[in-house]
Amino acid sequence: MATPDHDAIIVGAGFSGIYLLHKLREAGFNVLLVDAAAQPGGIWYWNRYPGARVDSQVPLYEFSLPEVWQTWSWSERFPGWEELRAYFNHVCDTLDLWPLMRMSTNVDSARFDEDNSIWHLQLGGGDTVSTRFLLPALGFASKPYIPDISGLENYAGEWCHTARWPQQGIDLEGRKIAVIGTGASGVQVAQEAAKSAKNLTLLQRTPILALPMQQERLTDLAQKREQKDYPDIFNRRKQTSAGFDCQSLEVSALEVDKDERDAHFEYLWQRGGLRFWYHNFADLLTNREANRHAYDFWRDKVRARIADPALAEKLAPIEPPHPFGTKRPSLEQDFYEIFGQDNVALVDLKETPIARIKTNAIETATGEIECDLIVFATGFDAGRGGLIDMNITGRGGLGLAQAWDDGLRAYLGMAVAGFPNMLFSYGPLSPSGFANGPTSAEIQGDWICDFMVWLRDSDIKLFDAETQAEQGWTEMVAQAGAMTLFPEADSWYMGANIPGKKRQLINFPSLSGYAAVCDDVAQNGYRGFATVKSTNKEPFAQ
């Protein structure tokens, strides 16, 4: 029987990959991490457009490992991409992970070898490497989506997707810039571009329901004082439905009177961040009437900042474009004010859709938007895109793209039947898109590490998700989604942003609920996984 080069290969150096690398190395596995990026950081390597910053406040968006947080401090409450990258370097230094990391290396394909129960990976540059376990940790947003707009190939200006911003940067000063898309990335890049562009035109299909960030500078001293609470905060974030410091109230928005309701909305508004989404009334995301109260509060707050009524109706319409929070809210700092500047314009693509791109302009139904830079802030093929691009082939030559032809399926959002010895973290049908990244990465990372220790201790060389267990999980995620308002929006949560992608809720809507099920699975002998014992008692690499 062939012996693999490694016990495990992790693909991806973002939060989930780095955490897994640390845990598995500590548990004594021979593990390697591979990433196409030149530096660790995952999403923070690729999304380095001006203004890119995280939407979770300090200290939620960091590892709970004391040796890491005790030796680090942030300069802002919502840190930007440069600081996040520096943080990843600090993590790799502190945990001494660099020797196990192979950066600037793409995984071109991965093939499961049924005879030997190992994975063979073809790396960019021609190398091959083998592993008992394959652990893709690609994040949910690793495959950018660029809509098919005719004429782009003839465009003479510069263009790029926000997640493929050139590493050397783009100078926005004096440019004529068109930004397509008003998700979190569109809002962030627009706020920054408005400062120095000659003209900035934001092309909006659906208004973003953006929340006030309430950014703050942070001092070392204040952070050191607050660090005494970090262990509690890190412990608590694991018990909440979205991995933050708290979760939704237990009371319905309909059980309290208007004054009380508005007082809570106002409290959330003033505290800033995504709290208006995750610490709101119990039925925000399940009851249309409750949701409408939140929308109306949001709308009135935003409209009060926009002088022109026509513009206000486009950015914060009287009637909600979708229930509040069923598309990802973004955080903003002065997003609604930039439209008062002479150099900034908004184009409503529902009224005037893009017809084509010309050599120096975007042509819409009513005219041309002259531009020398087009920014596609048009999102991602979330959940599946990066995994499909890895060209993963499981049993019987089945490709992952083929396996997901009729929609995403996965047991625990981590394993796909027919793809043995593979577990992905942060994947489809896990809570990833609904959860704070590091919390999710630690919960899944701990579970995967425990599972691998159990496999080693049990002399198991092969596991595969049982079809029935996978089907049960996939249906359960759909049922959980059906109890919410999420299906009412055309969002990436529903797979609705990618033409041809099956409409289904792609994430499980509770991190704490998910952690409880995963624990239960572990306590019951990892039910739902079929396993095969090793014959030579040496299933792992030497």
Interface residues with ligand NA7 (CB under 6 A) are 141, 147, 162, 180-186, 205-206, 328, 349, 377-380, 492, 497
Based on CB atoms, which residue is closest to ligand NA7, 284 or 469?
284
Minimum distance from residue 143 beta carbon to ligand NA7 (Å): 12
Based on CB atoms, which residue is closest to ligand NA7, 330 or 512?
330
Based on CB atoms, which residue is closest to ligand NA7, 377 or 462?
377
d(CA 510, CA 505): 13
Minimum distance from residue 522 beta carbon to ligand NA7 (Å): 28
Minimum distance from residue 233 beta carbon to ligand NA7 (Å): 21
Based on CB atoms, which residue is closest to ligand NA7, 131 or 440?
440
Question: What SS3 class is residue 179?
Answer: strand
Cross-strand partners of 116:
none
Minimum distance from residue 186 beta carbon to ligand NA7 (Å): 5
Based on CB atoms, which residue is closest to ligand NA7, 90 or 205?
205
Name the residue among 521, 358, 448 with its Cα closest to residue 136.
Answer: 448
Minimum distance from residue 438 beta carbon to ligand NA7 (Å): 14
Minimum distance from residue 346 beta carbon to ligand NA7 (Å): 12
Side-chain half-sphere CA neighbours of 319 within 13 A: 0
Based on CB atoms, which residue is closest to ligand NA7, 134 or 180?
180
Determine contact, residues 11/137, Cβ cutoff 8 Å: yes
d(CA 90, CA 109): 30
Minimum distance from residue 515 beta carbon to ligand NA7 (Å): 20
Question: What SS3 class is residue 234?
Answer: helix
Q: What is the DSSP string of 312-366?
A: HHHHS-SS-SS-TTSS---EESSHHHHTTSTTEEEEETTTS-EEEE-SSEEEESS
Based on CB atoms, which residue is closest to ligand NA7, 131 or 439?
439
Determine contact, residues 214/270, Cβ cutoff 8 Å: yes
Name the residue among 68, 71, 60 with its Cα closest to residue 224.
Answer: 71
Based on CB atoms, which residue is closest to ligand NA7, 105 or 440?
440
- Measured over the CA atoms of residue 60, residue 62, residue 65 and residue 69, the dihedral's sign is negative
Nearest-CB residue to ligand NA7?
183
Give every CB contact of residue 13 below 8 A, 6+ residues apart in sequence: 33, 35, 37, 39, 40, 41, 42, 45, 88, 101, 103
Determine contact, residues 131/108, Cβ cutoff 8 Å: no
Minimum distance from residue 173 beta carbon to ligand NA7 (Å): 23
For tokens 């704070």, what's the residue?
436
Name the residue among 44, 39, 108, 54 with its Cα closest to residue 82.
Answer: 44
Based on CB atoms, which residue is closest to ligand NA7, 348 or 372?
348
Minimum distance from residue 377 beta carbon to ligand NA7 (Å): 5
Cross-strand partners of 31:
8
